[in-house]
Amino acid sequence: MTTIHIDNVSRWFGNVVAVNDVSMSVAPGVTGLLGPNGAGKSTLINMMGGFLAPSTGTVTLDGEPIWRNERIYRHIGVVPEREAMYDFLTGEEFVLANAELHGLGAKEARRALATVEMEYAQDRKIATYSKGMRQRVKMASALVHEPSVLLLDEPFNGMDPRQRMQLMDLLRAMGDEGRTVLFSSHILEEVEQLAAHIEVVVAGRHAASGDFRKIRRLMTDRPHRYLVRSSDDRALAAALIADPSTAGIEVDVQEGALRVQAVDFTRFTERLPRVAHAHGIRLLTVSPSDESLESVFSYLVTA
Amino acid sequence: MALHQLYHPTVARLTYRGLLGRRRAAVLFALPALLLAISIAIRALSGADDQTAANVLGGFALATMVPLIGVIAGTGAIGPEIDDGSVVYLLSKPVKRHVIVVTKLIVAIGVAVAFSAVPTLIAGFVLNGNSQQIAVAYAVAAAVASVAYSAIFLFLGTVTRHAVIVGLVYALVWESLFGSLIPGARTLSVQQWALALAQRIAGDGAINAQVSLTLGLTLLAVATVAGTYFAARKLRTLTLAGEE
């Protein structure tokens, strides 16, 4: 049991479309689900975890439906984003309860706590845990039955750098063992460090899929459009067009602004302020002028 | 299906500790303490009297305390976990959803009976020494009402975040107020169904119920089974939306 298939899945809440006709499959290894906040990552993970029915389409694990199928949890471990967990229990009691619900016992609970290095605090109430400690105990509860699929919703939120490294090592090791590990994040660097394979969702749509380098190219190499207002638009236009980061400029007389098409996003964002400064021009507005994928990607890159 | 196939000890432990570990558990202790205090005071001040015993047990214990404790136990057995999302740790396990519901119901019933029927029995003995079987009658009524309330409010806990409010409105407004004003409301009152049983147990004329024993027991059973069934059905398709 290893591959999750999402086929033509949409999910809406009332009039709001959270996930819009997404198809993807998540295979063994570590996959990062990347997208800005509100892109539909949690909705997708909730559907993969069997906590939400797709409005249309199917979500299956090696052909078996995940929704309304409790048996599937023998193969799936879930690390939810929400903080709430039985705070009145100690870490050990909590992980043990999770083990028992899988028909397992104290041995498995101990091993899971050791895996996340939480034995030192296992006798303390969860209510006293820091966010990072909670995250690790949640991990232990999801690992207790050694699932072949692990789903994690924003697992690095609130972790300090050391905890982040530890969790990354753990997830990497699990991916190397042949487990399917899917985690969501809105932070590019996290995904870059951990996942070889990335799925990008933007505004509920599946925007890109592939290895990290390919996606990075998609994000940075494609032309970006900006709306720029300055103290001297024509002088700025002349200066910018001389710079290789710029592919084209239109002087929008009606708007009183420049429409700039950048070749290289990173270079353009570096060059623009310098070029303006060198020519004594003040920048008044710089904003991505289209709501297309590129502008969101640029958000991701700068985030 | 055998009971042990419908009962998961781990779910029970989590439910029980959750119920008694939260702040609202204070109500579970406060109401019976109040009932006992009232009973002791009345007995000390005016001596044993069957009518007074019936008034206290019927008017406070069965009409107010039992439904309130039913609300706390029934909604508290599942509502908070659904509200804060921690129910995800139960749902992401290979455990049948109806097992989760039945187990939680059993725990809710246990807590409700322990905190309402048992104090009712003790209060009855304090008030009039169980003369005319009044203590036993009200205690049994409190127990069967606790079963039905637990199931009804457990179901409410699965469908609304405001289960406690809805439960309180039902318990205080419907059962206490409308029940005494509108004849029709009495037929749809857990309290009256339970009273029908109390009437049978107690001495002649000591307790008067508004519904017949058969109807009362039937409706108690229907409410309990329906509450359990719909709670399980709701849990089966419980949706945990993301926070985004």
Residue B67 inside a domain? The answer is yes
Q: Which of residues 254-283 of A touch B (CB under 8 A)?
A: none
pLDDT of residue B24: 78
Residue with tokens 């009437």: B199
pLDDT above 90 for A211: no
- Binary contact (B92, A76; C-beta < 8 A): yes
Query: Do B147 and B109 meet the contact criterion of CB atoms below 8 Å apart?
Result: yes
Nearest of B240, B200, B197 to residue B219 by alpha carbon: B197
pLDDT of residue A76: 96
Rounded to whole angstroms, how far apart are CA atoms B203 and A230?
A: 95
Question: Of A217, A245, A264, which marks where a domain is finished?
Answer: A217
Residue B182 inside a domain? The answer is yes
Same domain, A43 and A87: yes
Select, from the ranges A192-196, A233-237, B1-5, B227-231, the one with the highest average predicted confidence (pLDDT): B227-231
User: Could you tell me the pLDDT band of residue B179, with boundaries at 50, 70 and 90?
Assistant: low
User: Could you tell me the pLDDT band of residue A285, with boundaries at 50, 70 and 90?
Assistant: confident
Same domain, A195 and A264: no
Residue B241 inside a domain? The answer is no
pLDDT above 60 for A88: yes
Which residues from B are below 8 Å from A when comparing CB atoms?
Answer: 8-11, 13-14, 17-18, 21, 84-86, 88-97, 236-244
Shortest distance between the Cα of A161 and any Cα of chain B, in A, equals: 24
What tokens were used for B239?
A: 């949706």
B238 CB-contact burial (10 Å; exposed 0-12 / middle 13-18 / buried 19+): middle
- Closest chain A residue to B23 measured between Cα atoms? A88
pLDDT above 60 for B147: yes
pLDDT of residue B58: 92
Shortest distance between the Cα of B33 and any Cα of chain A, in A, equals: 25
Residues 6+ apart with CB under 8 A from A81: A42, A153, A154, A157, B242, B243
pLDDT above 50 for A260: yes
Give mean pLDDT, residues A213-218: 69
Indicate which CATH number applies to the domain containing A269.
3.30.70.100
Bridge partners (DSSP) listed for residue A79: A152
Same domain, A238 and A147: no
Give mean pLDDT, residues B107-122: 97
Residue with tokens 């419980």: B238
Please check whether residue A84 touches B, CB under 8 A: yes
Indicate which CATH number applies to the domain containing A157.
3.40.50.300
pLDDT above 60 for A125: yes
pLDDT of residue A1: 56
Same domain, A72 and A136: yes
Give the one of A43, A86, A100 whose C-beta lies nearest to B86's C-beta.
A86
DSSP chain A: ---EEEEEEEEEETTEEEEEEEEEEE-SEEEEEE--TTSSHHHHHHHHTTSS--SEEEEEETTEE-TT-GGGGGTEEEE-SS--S-TTSBHHHHHHHHHHHTT--HHHHHHHHHHTT-GGGTTSBGGG--HHHHHHHHHHHHHTT--SEEEESSTTTT--HHHHHHHHHHHHHHHHTT-EEEEEES-HHHHHHH-SEEEEEETTEEEEEEEHHHHHHHHHHS-EEEEEEES-HHHHHHHHHTSTTEEEEEEETTTTEEEEEESSHHHHHHHHHHHHHHTT--EEEEEE---SHHHHHHHHHH-
Q: Which of residues 134-193 of A touch B (CB under 8 A)?
A: 141-142, 153
Domain that residue B11 falls in: 3-236
- Binary contact (A76, B237; C-beta < 8 A): no
Same domain, A110 and A246: no
Residue B223 inside a domain? The answer is yes
pTM: 0.83
Beta strands A29-34 and A197-202 are parallel
Query: Do B191 and B179 meet the contact criterion of CB atoms below 8 Å apart?
Result: yes
Question: Of A194, A217, A240, which marks where a domain is finished?
Answer: A217
Domains contained in chain A, number: 2
Same domain, A226 and A176: no
- Binary contact (A42, B243; C-beta < 8 A): yes
DSSP B117-140: IHHHHHHHHHHHTTGGGHHHHHHH
Shortest distance between the Cα of B87 and any Cα of chain A, in A, equals: 8
Q: Which of residues 43-62 of A touch B (CB under 8 A)?
A: 43, 45-46, 49-53
Give the one of A38, A76, A80 whose C-beta lies nearest to B88's C-beta.
A80
pLDDT above 90 for A286: no
Give the one of B10, B94, B242 whose C-beta lies nearest to A71's C-beta.
B94
Residue B242 inside a domain? The answer is no
* φ and ψ of A65, to 5 deg: -65, 145
pLDDT of residue B96: 93
pLDDT above 70 for B162: yes
Q: Count the residues in chain B.
A: 244
Domain that residue A243 falls in: 222-302
Selected residue with higher pLDDT from A12 and A186: A12
- Binary contact (B244, A52; C-beta < 8 A): no
Instruction: Residue A16: list chain B partners with CB under 8 A.
Output: none
Domains contained in chain B, number: 1
Shortest distance between the Cα of B17 and any Cα of chain A, in A, equals: 8
- Closest chain A residue to B243 measured between Cα atoms? A42
Bridge partners (DSSP) listed for residue A275: none
User: Could you tell me the pLDDT band of residue A208, with boundaries at 50, 70 and 90?
Assistant: confident
The mean pLDDT value of chain A amounts to 88
Same domain, A9 and A108: yes
What percentage of chain B has pLDDT greater than the value 90?
A: 73
Residues 6+ apart with CB under 8 A from B195: B58, B62, B141, B207, B208, B209, B210, B211, B216
pLDDT of residue A223: 64
Question: Of A198, A217, A236, which marks where a domain is finished?
Answer: A217
Same domain, A234 and A184: no
pLDDT above 80 for A250: yes
Instruction: Residue B86: list chain A partners with CB under 8 A.
Output: 82, 84-86
DSSP letter for B237, please.
Answer: T
Shortest distance between the Cα of B21 and any Cα of chain A, in A, equals: 7
Instruction: Residue A48: list chain B partners with CB under 8 A.
Output: none
Structure confidence by residue, pLDDT tens digits, B43-94: 999 999 999 999 999 989 999 999 999 999 999 999 999 998 899 999 999 9
Same domain, A240 and A162: no
Among A76-90, A205-219, A252-266, B129-143, the range scoring the smallest mean pLDDT is A205-219
Q: 10 Å Cβ neighbour count for A71? A: 9
pLDDT of residue A298: 55
Burial readout B136-153 (b: 16 or more C-beta within 10 A, e: otherwise): bbbbbbbbbbbbbbbbbb
What percentage of chain B has pLDDT greater than the value 70?
A: 96
Same domain, A209 and A256: no
Rounded to whole angstroms, how far apart are CA atoms A5 and A7?
A: 6
Same domain, A11 and A150: yes
Structure confidence by residue, pLDDT tens digits, A139-182: 999 999 999 999 999 999 878 888 888 899 999 999 999 999 99
Query: Do B92 and B1 meet the contact criterion of CB atoms below 8 Å apart?
Result: no
Same domain, A173 and A208: yes
* CA distance between the termini of chain A: 35
Structure confidence by residue, pLDDT tens digits, A218-230: 666 666 778 899 9
